[in-house]
Chains A and B, each alone.
Chain A
Amino acid sequence: MVNSVTNLGRNGLADWLVQRVSGVVLLAYMLVVGFYLFCSGSDLSYEQWSGYFDSTFMRVFSTAAVLSIVSHAWIGLWSVSTDYLTERLMGGRATVLRLAFQAASAVVLFTYLVWGIQILWS
């Protein structure tokens, strides 16, 4: 049996909503940065590029994107781990396996969070 004690939003509806909102934020972010890169072409200079990410708007938007990646990935990895790392599919060790996978996921995503904030705000 899989208990939902490690999910992000405490219930499925909250996770569903967070997954949608973070997905839309990331889609908007990809379109904005992709459009900028496409318009700049290959003669983009360091000054233009760093100036673009120095603006308050891009710092805030990028921070929102980093937070969205982390929460979106947590909900996704949690869903995958609670669907496949189960006693039905993995036998008696499933709970240990699942919690180990979730702990490793948390370490990776926390690293992304700190890394992203460090890139944007230092």
Chain B
Amino acid sequence: MWQTVNDKRPVNLDIGTIALPITAYTSILHRVSGVFLVAGVALLFWLLGTSLDGPEGFEQAKACLASFWGKLSLWIVLVGLSYHSAAGVKHLVMDAGIGESMEGGETGAKLVLAATAVLAVLAGLWIW
């Protein structure tokens, strides 16, 4: 366990045993969405590469985005991107010293969730 003081990453809280605030959940979701996007960005690379490969490739990419599963996949990636971006902007705001209190953090977390909901609806309207 973590008995040494020269441990480079000492742990002073066992988060598995305490109730977590909303900021903890949005932070974990930021990480989960980031790891998800490492895979999800492959769809965007494929769409870009195929659509720039020539007129046939462009039509192929268009056909993919006209299919239900193509639309759904792109929407899921865009929702992940929306959340990750909103949470990233919140980080930049907090880096500027804004919203660093507990209440500020909770407000920020709620704003990130609200912004994601709006962006998810907008992305859905745009795709369908």
Contact = CB atoms under 8 A, between A and B. Distances in A.
Given A38-B126, A116-B45, A1 B31 contact: no
B126 A20 contact: no
A101 B48 CA distance: 28
Contact of B58 (A46, A76, A119): A46
Given A46-B58, A119-B49, A1 B88 contact: no
B34 A30 contact: no
Interface residues of A, number: 31
Contacts of B59: 46
Given A4-B8, A49-B58, A76-B31, A69 B41 contact: yes
Interface string B77-96: 00001000100110110010
B2 interface: yes
Provide the main secondary structure of the chain B interface: helix
16 contacts: A1-B9, A2-B9, A30-B81, A49-B51, A49-B52, A49-B58, A73-B37, A76-B34, A77-B38, A79-B31, A82-B9, A105-B38, A109-B38, A115-B45, A116-B45, A119-B48
Interface of B: 1-2, 7-9, 11, 31, 34-35, 37-38, 41-42, 45, 48-49, 51-52, 54-55, 58-59, 81, 85, 88-89, 91-92, 95, 126
Given A46-B55, A76-B35, 17 more contacts: A1-B9, A20-B92, A24-B92, A27-B88, A27-B89, A50-B52, A73-B34, A73-B37, A80-B35, A109-B38, A112-B42, A115-B45, A116-B45, A118-B49, A119-B45, A119-B49, A119-B52
Give 3 nearest A-B pairs by CB, closest first: A46-B58, A119-B49, A76-B34
Interface of A: 1-4, 20, 23-24, 27, 30, 38, 46, 49-50, 53, 69, 73, 76-77, 79-80, 82, 86, 88, 105, 108-109, 112, 115-116, 118-119
